[in-house]
Structure 1
Amino acid sequence: MKFPLLLWALSLLMKKAARNNPDFRKQLEGKDFAFQLQTADGGIVRQFVVANNSIRSKRKAHSNPAFTISFKNADTGLRILTSKDKNAFMRAIQEKDIAISGDLSLVMWFQSVSKYLKPSKKK
């Protein structure tokens, strides 16, 4: 149950960054594609649509995602997406805990914008 909640929270963080973070908004300029994060069996899936300098998200598979990141299972997805280890994602690919299909340049884009999605720390 925690993995679907994490994917939903990720969509909220992306929407907030699209509204409030000029650096993130700049990364959205000219982008028009969909991607999805899911478990390997497709039991848990969330699509993200990048268009018009904004992000929309739904809890269902997209008919034509530009890329898909599939995690071995929900626990693995939760562990990797919440890891503080900067190499966790790459290690998971090497260990086949993650499978990626589609446009790898857009996967790299997703990895690069993830730095804007950290919750802000209270001062």
Structure 2
Amino acid sequence: MLKFKFQLWAFAQLLKREIKHNPDCARYIAGKRLVFQIRTASNVRRQYLIGDGMLRSAAGLTANPQFTLNFADAAKGFTILSANDSQAAFLRGLGSQDLTISGDFSEVMWFQGLIAFLRPQRVISPYDRTTF
């Protein structure tokens, strides 16, 4: 459970850094107002606020989130949120009921776009034989 709590806190720190240092990410959140939370059935809870071009985060829940990611437990949450294939992991979690989402699904999709800024970009080498 402690590992998951740290992951949720670190997630906010990484996003803050990305917003500060990546102009594309800063533009992505510009003008956006979003309140959401991530929680588990065993009371791991963290809320996030995006507004005024910044991200803020605090332990606990908020009264009126636009969406909530509910994980069955901290281990499942850690696994899903740290997966390299995050969109596929989200879908697997939804299918297995290890993850349920309540609230505005369009905001969840926007959020998926935001967390894409945290993934390292693949550098294509001229020696890469992959065809497009």
TM-score normalised according to structure 2 size: 0.85
Where does residue 58 of structure 2 map in the other structure?
58
How large is the Cα RMSD of the aligned pairs?
Answer: 1.4
Could you tell which deviates more after superposition, 46-55 or 22-31? 22-31
Partner of 2:98: 97
The aligned counterpart of 2:111 is: 110
| CA contact 1:13–1:119 (8 Å) conserved in 2 | no
1:109 Cα deviation from its structure 2 partner: 0.7
Matched residue, 1:88: 89
1:77 equivalent in alignment to 2:97: no
Runs of at least 5 residues in structure 2 that lack an aligned partner in the other structure: 122-132
Distance 1:84 1:14 in 2: 17
Contact kept in structure 2, 1:49 and 1:57, CA below 8 Å? yes
* 1:110 CA displacement: 0.8
* SS of residue paired to 2:92: helix
Alpha-carbon separation, structure 2, partners of 1:119 and 1:34:
26
- Partner deviation per Cα, 1:11-32 (whole Å, 9 max, x = no partner): 0011111111111111111211
Deviation at 1:119, TM superposition (A): 6.7
**Counterpart position of 1:39:** 40
**Greater Rg, structure 1 or structure 2?**
2
Q: How many residue pairs align between the two structures?
A: 119
Structure 1 alignment gaps of length 5 or more: none
CA distance in 2, matches of 1:4, 1:80: 14
Structure 1 residue ranges, 4+ long, deviating more than 2 angstroms after superposition: none
Identity %: 39
Q: CA deviation at 1:10?
A: 0.1
Q: TM-score, normalised by structure 1?
A: 0.91
The DSSP-based 3-state class of the residue aligned with 2:61 is coil
Equivalent residue of 1:93, what SS? helix
Distance, in Å, in 1 between the alignment partners of 2:72 and 2:83 is 16
| SS class of match (2:65) | coil
SS at match of 1:31: coil
Q: Which residue of 2 aligns with 1:15?
A: 16
